[in-house]
Structure 1
């Protein structure tokens, strides 16, 4: 099928399936309605073959990269809802399983994700900050199981998750990055408590996860014991790589379109100049992202390429939403709700701007990305650790 024919096919599907009033219907809805809507929308995309185009063909994907670019650009242009709940499962969990999972683990979880299994990422901890290797959650081997104790924080969607990608320390005596193991955790296991973190406007997107003598079967270990740090790079690589294709297209379509609309009543030379600058940056981001994904098929990407794209996107998102909040004036500052199934480009500018700061943290904060770019991309000397600096 030619790209033109494929684009026509996706456009026709979007015209028939994207709910026309989903933004108003998903604004201020109870949690149960949000979850039901997300699962139903994922099922529609899956039935059309559009839910996991980046997966291997064996597991329901196999779409060529040029078609993936068309797919995401058309979904964004038609203002389709985002797969908020499925995001960790189809990107982070799937990447981890495909890179480091056993055949049994893949066969158990990849079809389940397509059936609606929800995942959460259990990486961050209260006292570790951006230093992921500083985690303190422990996993002690007991026969054919691990006994886990600790706490995770900023777990997006944890309240609805069926499974968790969990990092825990299995060798407290080893150097920080060498004593960590990677687990698949069933969230129905006894000893798990999930507490929502309610923000200033009443949303509970983030959660804390408390683990008290939680038993994980040894069969749920991903990769070798004490080598979880290396496995985690596959998860983080997904967050900095393929996920950016969809997010970039959304920023360049709905996000920029709404920014132009917001600016129309106050358009002058200065505003037009800012919009032109944003359009240039979006074009550059699209080029970088598409190049990264295309080269990723042949594994010809550089060690810091995904970090460049992630950093560029997150800071451009921040600048655009900041400008939208400025242009939107008092009305933008007093809007307290946004559609539950939207991304960071909902058009509720102040809320979008606040949310944009979230994106500069997960998958490695912007400071971490700059360090990766400097050390792995440019070959600059490694930044000393606090112990070395003292």
Structure 2
């Protein structure tokens, strides 16, 4: 991305262009059509929506211009504002592909890795993140999956054995971002390597996990003597921890730009609509002063979130991001999401507690309040729990003594 914001006239033109495009392209009635569907329909819908955005130049605005992106932070704000205002579907299936995989390739990948995968992602290649393990969630550096280098006639390979957990979308993925231990004798953060794993490789077993809501987008991945060519190593051997931290920190602000706009334009709007709906006694919750105060508070908090996200992306462009800035945004967003969806479930009452399905292509701000609230708790866990994030904020951001 460039760091120079376009003129106000250009942003106004972009906004008008986006509004016209959304009117012509956002699928009518997609929420109803995407509720209670099977995997095949969901995948087909997501891939079609991605290609619509790609053809218009809106699918990967955060990528460099030579790879199909090039929007400034200000332009991305306008893009996500208009997509959210038009209640466009989210790219939930391609999320890891266009954000985490692309960030890894652009930051630490080789030229050959970028040429192989970035165009393929634009064509629909799907990725999953293979980081967490049964004994390595919040403390990711404790991972036990091993990768042993061996020589083969056609070149070196890494033979991988272990298990990954909570791999969202693994059942649909073509490739995996994999962390594995290549030096068991090294300190735990210094003996990990980062790999690109073809999900068609022999020895892989993917098993979906059904959650409390009834969804099965989480998966376990079992790896039994899985061979990864040495050219699929990202960054130096045993430096995978540093690669993962750099790419995820750089990417978090980009993803939060969209999520903040979704929360404001879709989530808050749905909450206001719920508060305007008369309850069993005929009263509207929004007529209560305390309810209006809560809504005003959420509006102010979302304004703060938007400002934080934009500031993070703009400072990323100039190389001025602090070591804990992404952690601040993650904690702020996830806990605001919990409060907002929890209030929605409270206001909606018993009727919301009987909803058993939500649109497959929405986020956790769909207005199916109990399901949204349950799903919101996911956001305080992945990428390092909020407890871990607070430790990062204290130690790296505020310079406090390290935790014992």
Q: Normalising TM by the smaller chain, what interval? A: over 0.9
Mapped contact 1:95–1:234 kept (Cα < 8 A)? no
Counterpart in 1 of 2:119?
Answer: 111
Mapped contact 2:358–2:366 kept (Cα < 8 A)? yes
Q: 1:276 aligns with which of 290, 293, 296?
A: 296
**CA displacement at 1:312 relative to structure 2:** 0.3
Distance, in Å, in 2 between the alignment partners of 1:82 and 1:62 is: 20
Residue range with higher mean Cα deviation, 115-124 or 375-384: 375-384
Counterpart in 1 of 2:243?
Answer: 231
Distance, in Å, in 1 between the alignment partners of 2:247 and 2:321 is: 16
Counterpart in 1 of 2:189?
Answer: 177
SS in 2 for 1:363: coil
SS in 1 for 2:189: helix
Q: 2:134 aligns with which of 106, 116, 126?
A: 126
1:284-322 C-alpha deviation (Å, 9 max, x unpaired) = 111111111111111111111111111100000000000
Q: 1:52 aligns with which of 50, 60, 64?
A: 60
Mapped contact 2:60–2:68 kept (Cα < 8 A)? yes
SS in 2 for 1:168: strand
Counterpart in 2 of 1:11?
Answer: 19
TM-score calculated relative to the size of structure 1? 0.97
Mapped contact 2:213–2:371 kept (Cα < 8 A)? no
SS in 1 for 2:300: helix
SS in 1 for 2:159: strand
Matches within 5 A, 1:213-232: 213-232=225-244
Q: 1:87 aligns with which of 85, 95, 114?
A: 95
Runs of 4+ displaced beyond 3 Å: none
Counterpart in 1 of 2:73?
Answer: 65
Distance, in Å, in 1 between the alignment partners of 2:291 and 2:299 is: 12
SS in 2 for 1:176: coil
TM-score calculated relative to the size of structure 2? 0.94
Counterpart in 2 of 1:256?
Answer: 268
**CA displacement at 1:238 relative to structure 2:** 4.3
Counterpart in 2 of 1:296?
Answer: 316
Specify every segment of 5 or more residues in structure 2 that has no aligned partner in the other structure, as ranges: 1-8, 277-283
Q: How many residue pairs are counted as aligned between the two chains?
A: 384
Q: 1:242 aligns with which of 238, 254, 273?
A: 254
**CA displacement at 1:200 relative to structure 2:** 3.1
2:34 aligned with 1:34, yes or no?
no
